[in-house]
């Protein structure tokens, strides 16, 4: 069975600073990888996804992530964060051929002025 680890429960950062949110997964088969964002009192919104092809994936709001198969990682990055990026970020994995998304525990990004 696959699993997802987000080691950082909370990441504080100053506005305009770069940020990296870490995600590691485990799976014995090929996977698809996703990052979702959840703003307060809202549902989850897809930031970006890796299905195949280029390992560097660009998403909405200036976020990007890199799939590293050897390290089984899919870290999320943004070169310069805004106050509005304050939210909970979830990494998720999906075994190819299946539909059950497995989510990490989430990382709360706190951007301060």
Partner 1 sequence: DAGVIQSPRHEVTEMGQEVTLRCKPISGHNSLFWYRQTMMRGLELLIYFNNNVPIDDSGMPEDRFSAKMPNASFSTLKIQPSEPRDSAVYFCASSLYEINEQFFGPGTRLTVL
Per CB under 8 A, residues contacting partner 1 are 32, 34, 36, 42-46, 49, 51, 90, 94, 99-101, 103-106
Helices (H) and strands (E) in the chain, counts: 0, 12
| 75 C-beta neighbours (distance < 10 Å), count | 17
CA distance 78 to 15: 11
Looking at the Cβ atoms of 51 and 83, the one nearer to partner 1 is: 51
Beta 10-14 vs 107-112: how paired, if at all? parallel
DSSP per residue, 71-110: TTEEEEEESS--GGG-EEEEEEEEETT----EE---EEEE
| Beta carbon of residue 65, minimum distance to partner 1 (angstroms, whole number) | 15
Looking at the Cβ atoms of 19 and 31, the one nearer to partner 1 is: 31
Looking at the Cβ atoms of 7 and 17, the one nearer to partner 1 is: 7
| Beta carbon of residue 17, minimum distance to partner 1 (angstroms, whole number) | 27
| Beta carbon of residue 57, minimum distance to partner 1 (angstroms, whole number) | 13
| Beta carbon of residue 113, minimum distance to partner 1 (angstroms, whole number) | 27
CA distance 61 to 64: 9
Looking at the Cβ atoms of 69 and 100, the one nearer to partner 1 is: 100
């Amino acid at each position: 069975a696959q699993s997802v680890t987000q080691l950082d429960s909370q990441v504080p950062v100053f506005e305009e600073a770069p940020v990296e949110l870490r995600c590691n997964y485990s799976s014995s088969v090929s996977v698809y990888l996703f990052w979702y964002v959840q703003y307060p009192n809202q549902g989850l919104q897809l930031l970006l996804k890796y299905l195949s092809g280029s390992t560097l994936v660009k998403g909405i709001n200036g976020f990007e992530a890199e799939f590293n198969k050897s390290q089984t990682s899919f870290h999320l990055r943004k070169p310069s964060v805004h106050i509005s990026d304050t939210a909970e970020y979830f990494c998720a994995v999906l075994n190819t051929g299946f539909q059950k998304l497995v989510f990490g525990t989430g990382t709360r990004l706190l951007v301060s002025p």
